[in-house]
Amino acid sequence: AQSVAQPEDQVNVAEGNPLTVKCTYSVSGNPYLFWYVQYPNRGLQFLLKYITGDNLVKGSYGFEAEFNKSQTSFHLKKPSALVSDSALYFCAVRAPGDDKIIFGKGTRLHILP
Amino acid sequence: GAVVSQHPSWVICKSGTSVKIECRSLDFQATTMFWYRQFPKQSLMLMATSNEGSKATYEQGVEKDKFLINHASLTLSTLTVTSAHPEDSSFYICSARVEAGGSDTQYFGPGTRLTVL
């Protein structure tokens, strides 16, 4: 069965610095990988996805993520953090041929002004 | 982008009553919709997968008679929490899968906060 691990409960970054939110996955076959962001009392907003092709995926709001098959990772990155990036970030995976997306536990990103 | 709406955004009800939550895909058709439940400071837990015109597929541990799901059209799925109890209080989020044009992404609604007194 597929699973997703987000090893950090919280990540603190100073505004203007680069940020990384870590994600590793376990799935049979080639994975579909996603990042979503959630603001307080709101649903999830889609940031980016990897299905196939270039390992570096660019998404919304200046975020990008790199698919690393050998390390089974899909870390989320941004070159320069904004205070408005503070939110809860979820990594998710879907196995090929499966309908279901499985979410990680989430990482709270706190950007310090 | 694809927009998913939920109604109501919040609801407070008495224990023992039933509550219906609607999930609509506003600008696309969704053959597959999903219902999630999220407890405070926790991740989303998939409750069920809903396919238009067929019975929902429930995850292990989710009571299908308590959480009734209907997916009557390609743009509407409903979740009814029957005989609600305080432990059913949670944030319920739906999502819809878009598969058209080579895209394969789930878009999420804004969520419904249910409080059962």
Q: What is the pLDDT of residues B72-117, one digit of tens each?
A: 888 999 999 999 999 999 999 999 988 766 667 888 999 999 999 9
Q: At a CB cut-off of 8 Å and minimum separation 6, what does A54 contact? A: none
CB contact under 8 A, B1 and A51: no
Reported as a pLDDT band with limits 50, 70 and 90, residue A62 is very high
Does the CB of B97 have a partner CB in chain A at under 8 Å?
yes
What residues are paired with B68 via a beta bridge?
Answer: B80
The residue of B43, B60, B103, B107 whose CB has the most chain A CBs within 10 angstroms, and thus the best one to mutate to test that interface, is B43
Q: Which of residues 45-64 of A touch B (CB under 8 A)?
A: 45-46, 49, 51
Does the CB of A36 have a partner CB in chain B at under 8 Å?
yes
CB contact under 8 A, B106 and A101: yes
The 8-class DSSP code of residue B61 comes to T
Residues of B in contact with A105 (CB under 8 A): 42-43
Reported as a pLDDT band with limits 50, 70 and 90, residue A90 is very high
pLDDT at B78: 95
Distance CA B44, CA A103 (A): 7
Q: Are B34 and B46 in contact (CB under 8 A)?
A: yes
Among the ranges A27-41, A88-102, B9-23, B93-107, which has the highest mean pLDDT value? Answer: B9-23
